[in-house]
């Protein structure tokens, strides 16, 4: 535990909060109430069609809930081009507690954010004994709109979970620094490992601990001789550096295997450097003026104007020079390098995916900027005797940020709202076009969806998702040859195992529609090679077996399909196969499951009614 702070002098004189034991819980309660009230609408939101399916709703392992099998899978899985076992376990635990009710999943993320806010306040309070600045940093972190993405998006659970363990590591480190021992170091090591096992973005955490040594723990003075020399402090963290290196190696392997890492042909190193410089400046801008926030900002490639990069470079250079000039204010140096350093793994030097930057990446790094602002203003105001005067503009800023956050949360209330807003605030966003089209498909607005799929393909002709979506559109309109063409184009453009599995399954369905059962079977099996849990592939194989009169095989495959993903179409097909094999009562159960999922599915309802009628006249069965 970090050193306990004494009551701030002004408050002590005023007779408020006689001790930290009474004051800190009250402040934490206030922070928790404000954060919970602000994020309360999230609990009424659905899952979104952007990775929530891959992380939860269509993930066969996570859907089983938290059990021995899920834990074993989590420890070895590199799905979604990452190794983050604690994140998988967190999602699985939510399924155990809340099934697939999105409210419970959202509540967990909100509660983690609340805990992070309180932990951040307590860490700063106990290590600096500065109530005002510590509170302001925490409340900024709580209500800033740029953090909405990390909290309101279920698939980004890894961010709030990782931050919890990140802050816990700082807590354990402060406890260790008070009285170094191997037991206390084990607590630091364990919490650091947990942070990395939640999201590997925190591989720079050992460097952060060196910053913390400088301020606020002050384990060295300016001459490096107060308590411990820098060489000793670096040596002390070698096991943590080893953890980070191991995490980086595993993550790179997972991302390359998952097809997420972009080549230097797609994104030359000069382009990556330019985007990194610009992105650093844009994070600061969005912190100051948080408008046009979106879940994905398309990478500009080599089209980023040179003047923007130069301006961004000048701004970063000026800030760095000022921080160095006033380096006696150690919090400035620590805050600035925390911001710069924590963004290094995700700034695009190793380009993963299509994004130029992401709001979620700023969740931890902007804490450094918040520290610079809060402690800087406090240090200016206190000698001048301004008292509570700075609280007035601070309160106005927090109110404005809260309104902006409330509005930003509202964009996550539906897929259509989210992606329509994203298209409105970004340019040439083919991912948003794809996802808005997918949202419209779910609402039965196929022609509108088709327009967005075509727009995505125009923006990026090498986008596999838009071609796959176009294939689905053609397939639903019985244009099977066009569907085959689009699916094959999508397969040629991606190396993502998850997408390859889904697209091969769809290609199999298109060939089955053309009557080419051999090719259909080949593609279904190809899908299962990429993902043995691809439920549509099992469905297709079951339908093929049923068509060939192989009812035992059909029932096995169809049962596997609905086990992985309960769908009305899967239960309808299973009911048909069971009835054709003479297993009438089991068929009735399957039909009833189909009607529960899709009450308007007339075929399943009629089949169930027919069986019930037969059961009311037993002689009709025999």
Do residues 156 and 127 touch, judged by C-beta distance below 8 A?
no
> What residue ranges of the chain are covered by domains with CATH 1.25.40.10?
543-622
Stretch 350-359: mean pLDDT? 90
CB neighbours of 505 closer than 8 A, spacing ≥ 6?
523, 524, 527, 534, 536, 537, 540
What is the DSSP code string of 2-53?
Answer: PPPPPPPHHHHHTT--SSHHHHHHHHHHHHHHHHHHHHGGGGG----TTTHI
The DSSP code for 386 is -
Could you tell me where the DSSP H helices lie in 348-414? 366-381, 391-410
Lowest mean pLDDT: which of 84-93, 139-148, 215-224, 294-303?
Answer: 215-224
C-alpha distance from residue 419 to each of 265, 415, 416 (Å): 29, 6, 6
Strands 297-298 and 355-357: antiparallel
Do residues 357 and 128 touch, judged by C-beta distance below 8 A?
no
Query: Percent of the chain, pLDDT > 90?
Result: 84
pLDDT of residue 15: 39
Stretch 197-222: mean pLDDT? 93
pLDDT of residue 618: 60
Between CA 510 and CA 540 the distance in angstroms is 10
Lowest mean pLDDT: which of 33-47, 222-236, 307-321, 522-536?
Answer: 222-236
Do residues 303 and 358 touch, judged by C-beta distance below 8 A?
no
Do residues 152 and 107 touch, judged by C-beta distance below 8 A?
no
Element (H, E) at 357: strand 355-357
Token code pair at residue 117: 């806010």
pLDDT of residue 245: 97
Lowest mean pLDDT: which of 10-14, 51-55, 305-309?
Answer: 10-14
* pTM of the predicted model as reported, rounded to 2 decimal places: 0.91
| Average pLDDT of the chain to the nearest whole number | 92
Using one digit for the tens of pLDDT, what is the confidence trace for 391-418? Answer: 889 999 999 999 999 999 999 999 999 9
pLDDT of residue 227: 57
Between CA 164 and CA 158 the distance in angstroms is 10
> Which of residues 528 and 262 earns the better pLDDT score?
528
Q: Would you call the peptide bond into 216 cis, given omega within 30 degrees of 0 as the criterion?
A: yes
pLDDT band at 222 (very low <50, low <70, confident <90, very high): low
Using one digit for the tens of pLDDT, what is the confidence trace for 438-486? Answer: 999 988 899 999 999 999 999 999 999 999 999 999 998 999 999 999 9
CATH number of 543-622: 1.25.40.10
pLDDT of residue 221: 67
Using one digit for the tens of pLDDT, what is the confidence trace for 78-123? Answer: 999 899 999 999 999 999 999 999 999 999 999 999 999 999 999 9
pLDDT of residue 436: 97
Token code pair at residue 476: 């639903």
Q: Which residue(s) pair with 298 in the sheet?
A: 355
pLDDT of residue 5: 41
Between CA 309 and CA 420 the distance in angstroms is 29
Nearest CA-CA partner of 608 in 596, 592, 585, 621: 592
Do residues 195 and 165 touch, judged by C-beta distance below 8 A?
yes
pLDDT band at 229 (very low <50, low <70, confident <90, very high): confident
Stretch 63-74: mean pLDDT? 96
C-alpha distance from residue 591 to each of 270, 280, 406, 544 (Å): 59, 56, 43, 20
What's the 3-state SS for 182-233?
A: HHHHHHHHHHHHHHHCCCHHHHHHHHHHHHHHHCCCCCCCCCCCCCCCHHHH
Stretch 60-70: mean pLDDT? 96
- Residue corresponding to tokens 């909290």: 151
Number of residues that this document lists for the chain: 622
Nearest CA-CA partner of 210 in 193, 243, 232: 232
Using one digit for the tens of pLDDT, what is the confidence trace for 135-191? Answer: 999 999 999 999 999 999 999 999 999 999 999 999 999 999 999 999 999 999 999
Stretch 490-515: mean pLDDT? 94
Judge whether residue 16 has pLDDT over 50.
no
Using one digit for the tens of pLDDT, what is the confidence trace for 546-576? Answer: 999 999 999 999 999 999 999 999 999 999 9
pLDDT of residue 385: 66
Which value, in Å, is the radius of gyration of the alpha carbons in the chain? 28
Do residues 523 and 539 touch, judged by C-beta distance below 8 A?
no
Buried b / exposed e along 465-479 (16+ C-beta atoms within 10 A): bbbbbbbbbbbeeeb
Using one digit for the tens of pLDDT, what is the confidence trace for 318-339? Answer: 999 999 999 999 999 999 999 9
Lowest mean pLDDT: which of 185-199, 379-393, 506-520?
Answer: 379-393
Stretch 374-392: mean pLDDT? 82
Judge whether residue 225 has pLDDT over 80.
no
Stretch 196-200: mean pLDDT? 97
């Amino acid at each position: 535990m970090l050193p306990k702070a004494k009551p701030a002098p002004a408050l002590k004189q005023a007779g408020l909060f006689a001790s930290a034991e009474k004051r800190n819980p009250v402040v934490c309660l206030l922070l928790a109430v404000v954060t919970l009230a602000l994020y309360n609408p999230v609990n009424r939101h659905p899952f979104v069609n952007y990775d929530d399916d891959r992380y939860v709703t269509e993930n066969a392992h996570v859907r089983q809930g938290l059990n021995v099998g899920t834990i074993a899978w989590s420890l070895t899985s590199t799905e979604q081009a990452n190794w983050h076992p604690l994140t998988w376990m967190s999602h699985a635990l939510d399924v155990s507690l809340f099934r697939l009710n999105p409210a419970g999943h959202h509540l967990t993320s909100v509660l983690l954010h609340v805990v992070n806010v309180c932990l951040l306040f307590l860490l700063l309070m106990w290590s600096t004994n500065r109530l005002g600045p510590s509170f302001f940093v925490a409340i900024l972190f709580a209500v800033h709109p740029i953090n909405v993405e990390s909290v309101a998006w279920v698939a980004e659970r890894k961010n709030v979970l990782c931050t919890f363990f990140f802050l816990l590591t700082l807590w354990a480190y402060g406890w260790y620094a008070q009285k170094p021992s191997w037991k206390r170091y084990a607590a630091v090591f364990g919490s650091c490992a947990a942070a990395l096992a939640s999201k590997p973005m925190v591989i720079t955490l050992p460097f952060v601990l060196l910053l913390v040594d400088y301020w606020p723990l002050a384990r060295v003075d300016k001459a490096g001789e107060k308590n411990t020399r820098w060489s000793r402090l670096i040596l002390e963290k070698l096991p943590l550096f080893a953890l980070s290196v191991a995490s980086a190696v595993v993550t790179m392997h997972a991302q390359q295997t998952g097809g997420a890492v972009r080549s230097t042909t797609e994104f030359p190193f000069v382009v990556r450097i330019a985007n990194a410089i610009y992105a650093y400046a844009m994070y600061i801008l969005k912190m100051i003026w948080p408008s046009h926030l979106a879940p994905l900002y398309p990478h500009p490639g080599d089209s980023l104007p040179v003047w923007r990069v130069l301006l961004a470079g000048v701004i970063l250079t000026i800030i760095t020079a000022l921080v160095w000039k006033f380096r006696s204010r150690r919090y400035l140096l620590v805050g600035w390098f925390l911001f710069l350093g924590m963004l290094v793994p995700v700034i695009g030097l190793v380009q993963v995916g299509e994004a130029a930057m992401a709001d979620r990446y700023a969740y931890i790094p902007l804490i450094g900027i918040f520290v610079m602002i809060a402690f800087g203003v406090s240090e200016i105001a206190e000698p001048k005797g301004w008292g509570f005067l700075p609280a007035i503009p601070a309160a106005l800023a927090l109110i404005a940020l809260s309104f902006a956050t409330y509005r930003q949360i509202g964009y996550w209330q539906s897929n259509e709202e989210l992606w329509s807003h994203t298209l409105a605030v970004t340019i040439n966003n083919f991912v948003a076009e794809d996802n808005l089209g997918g949202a419209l498909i779910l609402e039965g607005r196929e022609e509108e969806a088709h327009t967005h799929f075509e727009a995505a393909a125009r923006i990026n002709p090498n986008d596999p998702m838009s071609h796959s979506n176009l294939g689905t559109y053609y397939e639903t309109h019985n244009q099977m040859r066009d569907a085959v063409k689009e699916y094959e184009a999508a397969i040629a453009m991606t190396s993502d195992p998850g997408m390859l599995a889904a697209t091969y399954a769809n290609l199999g369905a298109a060939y089955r529609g053309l009557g080419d059962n051999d090719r259909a079977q080949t593609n279904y099996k190809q899908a299962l090679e990429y993902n043995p849990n691809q439920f549509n592939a099992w469905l297709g194989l079951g339908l093929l077996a049923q068509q060939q009169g192989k009812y035992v095989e059909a029932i096995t495959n169809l049962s596997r399909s609905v086990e992985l993903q309960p769908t009305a179409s899967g239960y309808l097909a299973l009911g048909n196969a069971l009835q054709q094999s003479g297993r009438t009562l089991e068929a009735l159960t399957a039909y009833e499951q189909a009607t529960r999922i899709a009450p308007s599915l007339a075929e399943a309802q009629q089949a169930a009614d027919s069986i019930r009628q037969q059961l009311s006249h037993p002689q009709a069965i025999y």
